[in-house]
Homo-oligomer: A and B are copies of this chain.
Amino acid sequence: MEEMQSIGLFDSGLGGLTGFRALRKLLPGRDLVYFGDTARVPYGSKSREVIRRFALQDTRFLLSQNVSAVLVACGTVSSNALDLLEETFDLPFVGVVSPASEKASEIARAKNGRVLVLGTAATVRSNAYKDALLRIDPTLEVRQAACPLFVPLAENGHTKKGDIAATAIAKEYLEPFSAFRPDAVILGCTHFPLLSDVIADVLPGPVQVSAGEEAARTMAALVGDRAGTGKDTFFTSDDPVAFGEAAELFLGAPVERAFHTDIEAY
């Protein structure tokens, strides 16, 4: 592989930064380029056709930044457009569906074989995680829950255990699966790890699998690290100052290099 080129990541907005953070830890020497489509966020409530069109634009932009591989750090895009990206572009892609499904199936097979998938409306509609899990092991029992309000709750800071609104909404989405007693819960949208404590409070027991973190592990194994100090570069389709401020909450450190790009031109 071209040792000097960057690794690209993209997401509808900020959620993919959970994958970015994990990848930075695993590849401290690599240059990473992140694009967050904050002008058009969220993707999870939109149609498959729109998601696929946006995914092509996002990837074309990252290619203009000379990335040599792309981590699709968005559950909705990974579920609805990974096949299209792989057909269209000649470089390696890592989505979040396969890595998380591998991990969850491993956990479930050591116990009672039950997996619950949490995702956006578009992710659940695609059945991408369910299909991947059943390809790995057709004997798994898989349930899916669309959690459309988790992204706006996370983006607006309703993430703490005991938050009344977040807990009420988590109960609405998750209590129907209490009797199912899943062994593993896939947090199939890269925003959802922010709500990890709320989810565990409402549905205690299962191991939570972060789709962004598992994808970062797969990407790190694929490209490997290199010597040196990795550079972080962030692009957003909306205001880079607001992006940098919001990103700090996800990354735990200030964002130094954030730039605007007009994604509709790609």
- The reply to whether B238 and A50 contact each other, CB–CB distance below 8 Å, is yes
A-B contact pairs, 15 of them (CB 8 A): A39-B40, A39-B47, A40-B40, A41-B45, A47-B238, A49-B238, A50-B237, A149-B152, A149-B153, A149-B158, A152-B152, A158-B169, A164-B168, A165-B168, A264-B264
Q: Which of A77-124 contact B (CB under 8 A)?
A: none
Q: How far is the CB of A132 from chain B (nearest CB, A)?
A: 25
A120 CA to B239 CA in the complex, in Å?
17
Interface flag for A137 (CB, 8 Å): no
Picked from B40, B148, B156, B169, the residue with its CB within 8 Å of the CB of A165 is B169
Residues of B within 8 A of A158 (CB): 149, 169
CB within 8 Å of B: which residues of A?
A: 38-41, 45-47, 49-50, 148-149, 152-153, 155-156, 158, 164-166, 168-169, 172, 237-239, 242, 264
* Copies of this chain in the oligomer: 2
Instruction: Using CB atoms, name the residue of chain B closest to A155.
Output: B45
Q: How far is the CB of A58 from chain B (nearest CB, A)?
A: 14
Residues of B within 8 A of A264 (CB): 264
| Residue among A47, A164, A264 facing the most chain B CB atoms (10 A cut-off) | A47
Q: How far is the CB of A204 from chain B (nearest CB, A)?
A: 20
Instruction: Using CB atoms, name the residue of chain B closest to A54.
Output: B39
Known: A40-B40, A165-B168, A169-B165. A49 touches B152 (CB 8 A): no
Residues of B within 8 A of A242 (CB): 47
Q: How far is the CB of A76 from chain B (nearest CB, A)?
A: 13
Instruction: Using CB atoms, name the residue of chain B closest to A260.
Output: B49
Residues of B within 8 A of A239 (CB): 47, 49-50
Instruction: Using CB atoms, name the residue of chain B closest to A264.
Output: B264
A39 CA to B46 CA in the complex, in Å?
6
Instruction: Using CB atoms, name the residue of chain B closest to A37.
Output: B40
Q: Which 5 pairs, one residue from A and one from B, show the smallest C-beta to C-beta distance?
A: A164-B168, A47-B239, A152-B152, A165-B168, A165-B165
| Residue among A39, A166, A239 facing the most chain B CB atoms (10 A cut-off) | A39
Q: How far is the CB of A260 from chain B (nearest CB, A)?
A: 9
Q: How far is the CB of A263 from chain B (nearest CB, A)?
A: 9
A165 CA to B39 CA in the complex, in Å?
27
A149 CA to B154 CA in the complex, in Å?
11
Residues of B within 8 A of A41 (CB): 45
Q: How far is the CB of A60 from chain B (nearest CB, A)?
A: 14
